[in-house]
Structure 1
């Protein structure tokens, strides 16, 4: 299952809004409940005062200030006795029945009753029947429940407004840090980092700059090493080339035995020249590769295969080569390195199998197949991925990326196939 990507700003904003909604809702409910609990306590205290102030006799209830005090249940008004039963009335406990159209409107009627018992032995009932006066109805928002809801909504809106303003204040420097980091390049990397509103962001910018500077220094060192090494290799390669040419000018009779060795040295030195020129070109981004030549791909493939015959010694490999007479203008050193590395990998990683090489126009396909049942060494097995298939393949991929060529790779347990599509218009 793919991970869910979301904005940190939106996540924090949503989490705080949900938390604020829960807290404010809970406080509003507690406020409304406390309001009605206070009213009930006031009513209970008032009813107890009325009961202690009056001493009714059986059959003669006393009515004072809309309260009825009676010594027995039968003396209470009919609406009170119809709303409650004697069995449910507990001592010194207020019982009430409120009638309203819905929970958001003011009560139209309320009935209260309590059985009291004092320490001096006096007991009885006290009741109150409230009926809302027939006046113009009050506004819908004047009820305590509705006031609680409006208070919660108003508080939540105020909190959300403050939270959005705070998040904008906090995220604006973060966006500035993001924009600054996105614009960093090798020209501006050494410039001092900006100072942000928050010290933590300034420290983070310094860490980002230091990390990128370390990476740049490492890349510069590697690039300089490749450049220096390629330059230094030119001298011994030139010596080898001149020595080979000198030996070839000697009497042929004296060089018959060493002719094959001289040819191998000659080909190896030419490959070293091409490699050093290509490495220098790779280390100098943006500079064109200047060894464009008209290349006949069939001859180039056959020549490279001839140079690699020594890799087939001690192996049982069937090689099938199919080419045509296609010619095109290509960087000769780049084509030599790429095709040579692909052929070398195919021969090196095949021990008992077949290699099929097909060249059609500017497309070259190389497939090496290990016979089923053979057991090549584990380090050369095609079961390994392309990363373990030789550094030459990695160099070939980089060269193809730089030259605009296409290199595709397919492999399974016993088969490895590469397809190279050259771009002659380069």
Structure 2
């Protein structure tokens, strides 16, 4: 699974979340372990020094050294370095003081001082211990025994080791899981209609196999629906072509038989002619929709200006009864085109401009491979182009969707520009 854009993959999200969680737990437990270690060390030292204070100095003695501890009942006899570190000692008894100098937590301190004040038989006993070269002492001792590792550093290293082991195990688990998931992703991307009838590969996990089965079933259902739709469109369009051809040929024959009909009959003939042209355009569109999207279309060299002239002449009936001026300017250049798609595009664009201009102008300009169609409505004071209903009325319906689909499929540059009272569209047939 990959990170796409700003979207994080499940693998990355889970890995970061679990690693952060374990790191936090390791830090908390390491800190807690260090505090427990230090607390235990202090309590052990305090207990030992208190036990010494209970028995020493012996009867008749004011000062004594026991187990590297200095014991005295006179504060002035306490070693001067200890007195200096604990100048403001409390008058209370049965207290324990300790101090570490230049201690960076992960290495031994340079100096250590400890003092217990214990009351025995109505007098205070001072038990003290200090070492002003403690770090040197520890280093010298470990040089004899081996590598110097502070207990706190050992705790930290154990925590890091646990974290590293967890990350390695997590990566191994992810590898076992994500490889089948990636295989499912690649398999689903390369599915074809022929593959829908075959059994899906084994993706090792029951959930992934169920998902693959669901993908096959859903895609099979969609493929069946598309096939039925294409079959229906193909049959319908082919069936319609014959009656339309009969209608148009008989309409033309009627003009030859009676070229001067009455005004009422002329209106009826014009309606029949317009209806047949509309049906002809619809069947061409249906035929296109029934084709496979990647089907190759034959290309032929043709005059784009001639196509525009013929199309706008066929659709001129849409302007009957309207006060619309059509300005068409074309050249004699010839271009290589997929004829049927280009005719559908031009037909829909010009039809759109004619249908949605009640009073104004329609300019059709062709220069080389580029066609520019502009419709301006002068009968309206203003058009709110941000209104969805107005946009739909101005032609952003199924016909324009078909234009967008065709221009995108054939790589034709297609742009639409909003104007105050109309639209300007441009198509570059490359």
Unaligned runs of 5+ in 2: none
Question: Once the 2 structures are TM-superposed, how far is the Cα of residue 136 of structure 1 from its aligned partner?
Answer: 3.0
Match of 2:351 in 1: 344
Match of 2:234 in 1: 227
Q: Distance in 2 between matches of 1:373 and 1:245?
A: 38
So what's the TM-score if we normalise by structure 1?
0.82
Q: Distance in 2 between matches of 1:126 and 1:379?
A: 90
SS in structure 2 of the partner of residue 11 of structure 1:
helix
Unaligned runs of 5+ in 1: none
1:188 aligns with 2:195: yes
Q: Does the aligned pair in 2 maintain the 1:114–1:125 contact within 8 Å? A: yes
Match of 1:8 in 2: 10
Give the 3 Å change call, closer, same or farther, for CA 165–303 of structure 1 in structure 2.
closer
Q: Does the aligned pair in 2 maintain the 1:364–1:421 contact within 8 Å? A: yes
SS in structure 1 of the partner of residue 200 of structure 2:
coil
SS in structure 2 of the partner of residue 219 of structure 1:
helix
Among 6, 25, 28, the alignment partner of 2:27 is 25
Q: Does the aligned pair in 2 maintain the 1:32–1:145 contact within 8 Å? A: yes
Q: Distance in 1 between matches of 2:396 and 2:57?
A: 108
Question: What do residues 259-283 of structure 1 show as CA deviations (whole Å, max 9, x unaligned)?
Answer: 6754764575466446435533442
Q: Distance in 2 between matches of 1:194 and 1:87?
A: 79
SS in structure 1 of the partner of residue 327 of structure 2:
strand
Q: Distance in 2 between matches of 1:189 and 1:342?
A: 39
Q: Distance in 2 between matches of 1:135 and 1:297?
A: 93
SS in structure 2 of the partner of residue 416 of structure 1:
strand
Give the 3 Å change call, closer, same or farther, for CA 299–382 of structure 1 in structure 2.
farther
- Which sits farther off after the overlay, 319-328 or 379-388? 379-388
Question: Once the 2 structures are TM-superposed, how far is the Cα of residue 178 of structure 1 from its aligned partner?
Answer: 0.9
Question: Once the 2 structures are TM-superposed, how far is the Cα of residue 345 of structure 1 from its aligned partner?
Answer: 0.8
Q: Distance in 1 between matches of 2:276 and 2:264?
A: 20
Match of 1:126 in 2: 127
Matches within 5 A, 1:372-391: 374=381, 384=391, 388-391=395-398
Q: Distance in 2 between matches of 1:402 and 1:129?
A: 87
Question: What do residues 144-194 of structure 1 show as CA deviations (whole Å, max 9, x unaligned)?
Answer: 122223222222222221122122122112111111111112111232333
Matches within 5 A, 1:5-404: 5-54=7-56, 60-85=62-87, 87-88=89-90, 90-99=92-101, 103-107=105-109, 109-117=111-119, 121=122, 123-130=124-131, 132=134, 136-138=140-142, 141-241=148-248, 243-244=250-251, 247-248=254-255, 250=257, 258=265, 262=269, 265=272, 268-269=275-276, 272-273=279-280, 275-277=282-284, 279-285=286-292, 296-326=303-333, 333-371=340-378, 374=381, 384=391, 388-401=395-408
Root mean square deviation of aligned Cα: 3.8
SS in structure 2 of the partner of residue 193 of structure 1:
coil
1:419 aligns with 2:423: no
